[in-house]
Structure formats: C-alpha cells, structure tokens
Amino acid sequence: MLIVMHHKALDKQIKAVMDAVERMGLTAKPIPGSERTAIGVLGNKGYVDDTNIRGLPGIKEIIHVSKPYKLVSRDFHPRATIIKVGRHEIGEGKRPIVIAGPCAVESEEQILKTAAAVKNSGADMLRGGAFKPRTGPHTFQGLKEQGLKLLALAKKETGLPIVTEVMSTENVELVGEYADILQVGARNMQNFDLLTELGRIHKPILLKRGMSATVEEFLAAAEYIYAGGNHQIVLCERGIRTFETATRNSLDLSVIPLIKELTHLPVIVDPSHATGRRSLVPPMAKAALVVGANGIMVEVHPEPDKALSDGPQSLTIPGFEKLMDEVRKLDTFLGY
C-alpha cells in the first residue's frame, strides 16, 4: 500500500500516519519526492485494511498496490536510480553505456585482443562469460575460475570494468571478487535462491529478462534482490520467445519505455541474444538507444567463425567499430 500525502502535509501529520501504520504491525517507509511525500507500507501479506488510517489529516490518496513488486516500482521511489561503476554511471539522464565483449572467455589471446579492440572503439565495459549456461551439456561450458582470472588480466590491461555471469549461489563470492557487475542470465531470472544471495552483496547486478518472463515477473525478480538490501540493479531486455523462429528471440523494445514508467531502475538492451544474427545487431542496438535504453550490451569476437559460442550473433571487431561510430552520432542526437 502507498499513502500519498498532500503536498503541504505537515511533518507531524506524516509522523502520525507512520505511527498508525507501525501500530498495525507493518513497516512505514517515507518516500520523499519533489512533488509529493508518500509513505510506503511494507510487511503486509495481502490487502491492508486502511480503516484506521484513511481519516488521518494530511492524506491525499491511498493506493493499494497489488503488484508483486513495490520497492523497485516508480510509485514507491519516483526518482530514477543511478548505478555507479567506477567513473561510469548507468541510468536516466546519463549517456547510455556500451558493454561489449565475447559471449565466452576462450583464451588469453582472445579476451585481451577483444578487450583492447572494444576499448579502442569506445566501449565502457567488457563482458565475457566464464561460467556459461549452455543449452546442452556437450558444448563449451566456459573456463570458469581461469576465465575470471583472464578477465582480471583484461581489466588490468584496459581499465575496463568487467561484466560476467554468476550461475549458482556457491559461486557468488568467487565471481564477486572479479566482476564489477554480476550478471544473472535469462535462464536464472527466477532462480530465487540466487536472487536472494545477490540481495546480500554490495555489487551491481545485471538482471536479464527470462525468455518467457512477463514484465511483472521480471520486476518481481528484481524485487528479490532489492528487498534483500542490494539496490544496485540494472535490468536487461534480451528478447523473448514468440512463435517467430526467423530470429533467435523477439526483441521486445516496447518494454523499454514501459519499464521506465514502472520502475526507477535502469534498463539496457542486449540485441545480440535478442536477434541471434550479426546483421541485425547494429540496427536493433541503435533502435534500443532511440527508445530510451540506458545502455546496450553487444557480443564481439575477433574471429566469430571460430567462436566456441554464439559466433553467428557476434560482431567482428571492425563491425563493432562501425557501430560505435553510429552510436556516438546517436548519442549526440539524443543530447548526451
């Protein structure tokens, strides 16, 4: 439940409402805003009977929130959250970030070469999977801890912050030692034990949308991390499953402006996994920026034909360089 106070409500009226909420055994969370003060009510399992609150002075409106997410909603937190990673900032009003790199870390040569190239072209962060969630068990599963060490080497050489996936609760600590942003892959979006564990750490999380997840389920997954105490969450739209098989997934771009209405968290787009085809990545990356994404994440490989995973959707180094020239023009056009 959300209690919206009148613009001119007195501090003592706000306090009286909060006390009344606490007397009901619930938690009252003040949400100051530039246009209104609201009080979020937390701790209820179902509908809250507001009989004892409704008549208190200073209240403008009581909104019963039936959504499975509250803390990440705009209702509870009107001001946009900005995630800081080193000197980079991700979120509303900031220049969209570009995360680039291979699907998987394959070798020292591959990751160092890619890192140097994407840095040179203007990428802000390096991606690369060390723990890979593959559909079948007979394919390359990632270099695991050795992959993390190679990412650390690439970071040392280029200064690029690292984005890499964590697949299980037992590896949260290990991956957290190397990653600047820990990625939760689409297949793990509803791994609630993992989300709960990530709520306990103090590092940014990149939460990818499950391939069959509704927006509500996506935001409810973010709520797990947020409610646990970790408020540094970046959402990532990476395409969903539809009847269409011509592309790997269907990029659901309309959720970008929608998610920005519903939540204060930043949202980025991964056009690589969304389309599965190299030729479609640049147009959809640019489209993502136009609809207001706070960044893009793109797969790049020095030799996509030899990639151990996701070669067909990986940009070549010159392909990424060209995309970045266009991204820079678009950033200027968008006013960044």
* Binding site residues, ligand PEP, CB under 6 A: 103, 129, 133, 165, 185-187, 208, 238, 270, 273
Assess 270 for contact with Mn ion (CB under 5 A).
no
Smaller CB separation from Mn ion, 103 or 167: 103
Q: How near is the Cβ of 273 to ligand PEP at its closest, in Å? A: 4
Buried b (16+ CB within 10 A) or exposed e, 47-71: ebebeebeebebbeebeebeeebbb
Q: How near is the Cβ of 314 to Mn ion at its closest, in Å? A: 8
Smaller CB separation from ligand PEP, 165 or 197: 165
**Which of Mn ion, ligand PEP, none has residue 197 at its interface (CB below 5 to 8 Å by kind)?**
none
Smaller CB separation from ligand PEP, 60 or 187: 187
Residue spans of beta strands (DSSP E) within the chain? 2-5, 27-32, 37-42, 59-63, 83-85, 88-90, 97-101, 125-127, 162-165, 181-184, 205-208, 233-237, 267-269, 295-299
Smaller CB separation from ligand PEP, 231 or 238: 238
**Which of Mn ion, ligand PEP, none has residue 119 at its interface (CB below 5 to 8 Å by kind)?**
none
**Which of Mn ion, ligand PEP, none has residue 142 at its interface (CB below 5 to 8 Å by kind)?**
none
Candidates 16-24, 47-55, 99-107, 115-123: pick the segment binding Mn ion (CB under 5 A). Answer: 99-107
The binding track of 279-318 with respect to Mn ion, each residue x by CB under 5 A or -, is -------------------------------x--------
Assess 103 for contact with Mn ion (CB under 5 A).
yes
Query: CA-CA distance, 145 to 131, in Å (whole number)?
Result: 8
Buried b (16+ CB within 10 A) or exposed e, 201-232: bebbbbbbbbbebebebbbbbbbbbbbeebbb
Smaller CB separation from ligand PEP, 88 or 208: 208
CA distances from 64 to 1, 6, 25, 41, 80 (A): 4, 17, 17, 10, 22
Cβ-proximal residue to ligand PEP, closest one:
185
Q: How many CB atoms are located within 10 Å of the residue 259 CB?
A: 24
Q: How near is the Cβ of 38 to ligand PEP at its closest, in Å? A: 34
CA distances from 252 to 109, 257, 293, 299 (A): 35, 11, 12, 19
Smaller CB separation from ligand PEP, 72 or 130: 130
